[in-house]
Structure 1
């Protein structure tokens, strides 16, 4: 027989029981907070919003009737800036950066993989216990605080 506790646990969603000394990024050797720890989700989302609005504005100035121009500019921005500098305009504003797991700038190949998956949107919404989206897992990158 099903009791109320069974329904309550189902409605509450999955439980992520973590030990007290466990945090997102620990398995990657990252500190719990401070410089070079994982960037919080709110900074990543706001950086994405800044980048998207900037690219949308540029696309509307160039050709407002072209629906592919804004995502193309967004992908190009991510590909070039993240691949060479390790951050986009939005990342820079919010003090976060994209790095490979060894701490170096991603480079053009990893940046290309990451940019393609970010433009597809859905891979960026699926993430693991270390708050790394599918785009970061596929590219071998992580978003850190500066």
Structure 2
């Protein structure tokens, strides 16, 4: 009678640290940016969008629901335009530069225009950015084929 195969033989190999499966180092430059840096960069970028939208389009009166909704939409649009343009040119948004991270495509080369657009649109939906894989990449990064790494 043969022994039953061990269950360990059927389990997928687990990486020891985030990014190992992607060929990235554990620490230092090009290592996967952790959640704390990502969150701080996002908060900085959102507040930059709030400030820019506030300068360009003054805040509406608190009792004007239609204008408040329009103002929130303008903030989101400024956020998207800022992130897409700056990631295209500098491989990272203002907040990402401040915390020392950048966006890179997994296959190398130029980031392209669609990756920052897809990433940012999915970030606005919130949930995709919170669904992390074992490499600490959000669903938005997986869909766009990118990874956020330390500088």
Is it true that 1:111 corresponds to 2:116 in the alignment?
yes
SS class of match (2:29): coil
- CA drift of 1:105 comes to 4.1
Aligned residue in 2 for 1:49: 43
Task: Write out the 4+ residue segments of structure 1 that deviate beyond 4 Å after TM superposition.
Answer: none
More off after superposition, 46-55 vs 100-109:
100-109
Is it true that 1:88 corresponds to 2:93 in the alignment?
yes
RMSD: 1.6
Q: TM-score, normalised by structure 1?
A: 0.81
State which of 31, 41, 53 in structure 2 corresponds to 1:37.
31
**Structure 1 segment 1-146 matched on structure 2, within 5 A:** 22-63=16-57, 64-65=59-60, 66-146=71-151
Give the Cα separation in 1 of the matches to 2:19 and 2:131: 16
User: Does structure 2 conserve the Cα–Cα contact (< 8 Å) formed by 1:85 and 1:105?
Assistant: no
Instruction: Give the structure with higher Rg (CA).
Output: 2
Report the number of matched residues. Answer: 128
**Structure 2: runs of 5+ lacking an equivalent:** 1-12, 61-70
Q: Could you list the per-position Cα deviations for residues 61-109 of structure 1 after superposition, in whole angstroms to 9, with x for gaps in the alignment? A: 2222312011111011111111232100001111100000133342101
Give the Cα separation in 2 of the matches to 1:104 and 1:47: 23
Aligned residue in 2 for 1:3: none
**Structure 1: runs of 5+ lacking an equivalent:** 1-17
